[in-house]
Amino acid sequence: MKRIRTAKGRKVSSTRWLERQLNDPYVRRAKAENYRSRAAYKLLELDERFGLLRGVKSVVDLGIAPGGWSQVVRRRSPQAQVVGIDLLPTEPLDGVTILRMDFMDEDAPEKLREALGGPADLVLSDMAANTVGHPQTDHLRTMALVEAGLEFAREVLLPGGAYVAKVLAGGADNDLVAELKRSFTAVKHAKPPASRKDSSEWYVVAQGFKGETQ
């Protein structure tokens, strides 16, 4: 195991983060396989379990930066059109349209629909709210992103489409699960192996969009 001496001026927490990165097999694998982040393997593992990328032609990536999930989509489904959005800068990706703006801006959904030019098969959200260290507040802020993503997914998904979103420990609350079940035929929670064990993140996977009439 590689260890880093705590440099002058570097916080102990920063040193621990660096050690974890150096010793993380997913970080090493991402570098070897030219993925922009270890997060790519979360989507790869979710796809192995749920078949999310099979035959998709149009995908939305909410919270695209740094682009690992869109890389996975393009490698698994080279024919797929991908539109991503993030407030953070994201280096260009072949075959991906990237909007640099906050998804929570009122103009964002319309801008995404314009870029798509039609319906989507899959809406992915790896968005996470900036944490403030207060669990209840952090949970509410993250759930607000999940709910906003769901509202957008209902507007753009084709019947049979899927919505995948990051949630915190405990998963989506009962009200949100009920909303998802009204719109999708199957709703499950998953924690892919690439998600660190000490991380509070889970994913909610909603498949089989029933259509706008539901």
In angstroms, the Cα distances linking 192 to 52, 170, 205 are 14, 15, 12
Looking only at the bridges linking them, the beta strands covering 81-86 and 58-62 are parallel
Query: For residues 166 and 128, is the Cβ–Cβ distance under 8 A?
Result: yes
**Which segments of the chain does DSSP mark as H helices, in order?**
12-22, 25-32, 40-50, 68-76, 108-116, 135-156, 174-183
User: Which one of 11, 166, 191, 197 is the catalytic residue?
Assistant: 166
The DSSP code for 131 is P
Answer whether 194's CB lies under 8 Å from 47's CB: no
d(CA 104, CA 4): 39
Residue 11: active-site member: no
Which amino acid is residue 28, in one-letter code?
R
Provide the annotated active-site residues: 166
